[in-house]
Amino acid sequence: MNETMNAFQEFFKLPPEYKSTFYSTDMSKKCRIFSSTLNYDNEDFHYWRDNFTHHCHPLQDHIPLWPQNPSTYREVVGRYTIETRMLLLRILDLICEGLGIKHGYFDSELSNIQLLSVNHHIPCPDPSLTLGMPQHSDPNLISMLHECSIPGLQVWWDGRWMNVDPMPNAFVVITGLQLKVISNGKFSSPFHRVMTNSQEAKTTIGTFLIPSNETSLFSQSKSM
């Protein structure tokens, strides 16, 4: 976990000229970096983040598009994406038990797309003016967040925003809106956001499992 976090923190410290080679707001790009949101030019105000996203599964199809700097990036991040996928599928199997459906139900087209999405928030001079990320629910199947030691993540619970303080060697798992549909509402997707910090940079590695574009969520939910 620490190796992967270090790799991304090193990546964001690289010269802008190198990082700009990955810049794109084109959703079809399999490896891209952008600031704030993909709708940057039309936003009323901007969020305080750079985001680096790339596809991960199958690994051999996507790793040639990844950065070659830092030099260990592909090796370290490649291992990480394999292990985090296995962990999320184990968690989804536990969800299968709770829902009374067979193991492996989600290890199919329902989790065929895997995204690694990393948010990097440099220190913000005035945190009262903007957020690191706005309030949102994750639209995908399931998410897993790997935070650095800097706080900022908040979740909406019982009518108020609650801090989710980082824990060493721990992940935050968030069920997405697609799982809500597939489970016929037995799972929900919590609202969450990220606050800015005036003193230190914050990096969060997000892993997201998503059904393939050809999958119908409504037809899948009927089998339950």
Give the pLDDT score at 45.
80
Token readout for 23 is: 């810049």
Going by pLDDT thresholds of 50, 70 and 90, the confidence category of residue 219 is very low
Which residues does 123 contact at the CB level (< 8 Å), separation at least 6?
197, 198, 199, 200, 201
Give the pLDDT score at 61.
96
pTM of the model: 0.92
Angle at the Cα of 137 (from 132 to 143), degrees rounded to 5?
Answer: 90
Q: For residue 16, give the 3-state DSSP assignment.
A: helix
Q: Answer whether residue 14 shows pLDDT above 60.
A: yes
Q: For residue 115, give the 3-state DSSP assignment.
A: strand
Beta carbons of 50 and 61 less than 8 angstroms apart: no
**Which tens digit of pLDDT belongs to each residue from 201-213?**
999 999 999 998 8
Place of tokens 């929900």: 188
Give the pLDDT score at 56.
97
153-192 residues labelled b (16+ CB within 10 A) or e (exposed): bbeeeeeeeeebebeeeebbebbbbbbbbbbeeebebeeb
Q: What's the whole-number mean pLDDT along residues 172-186?
A: 93
Q: What's the whole-number mean pLDDT along residues 109-116?
A: 94
Give the pLDDT score at 216.
72
Going by pLDDT thresholds of 50, 70 and 90, the confidence category of residue 43 is confident
Going by pLDDT thresholds of 50, 70 and 90, the confidence category of residue 27 is confident
Do β-strands 160-163 and 153-157 pair in parallel, antiparallel, or remain unpaired?
Answer: antiparallel
User: Average pLDDT over the chain, rounded to whole?
Assistant: 92
Q: Answer whether residue 88 shows pLDDT above 90.
A: yes
Q: Quick one: which of 161, 167, 221, 220 has its CA closest to 190? A: 161
Range of lowest pLDDT (49-58, 77-86, 167-176, 209-218) = 209-218
Give the pLDDT score at 223.
53
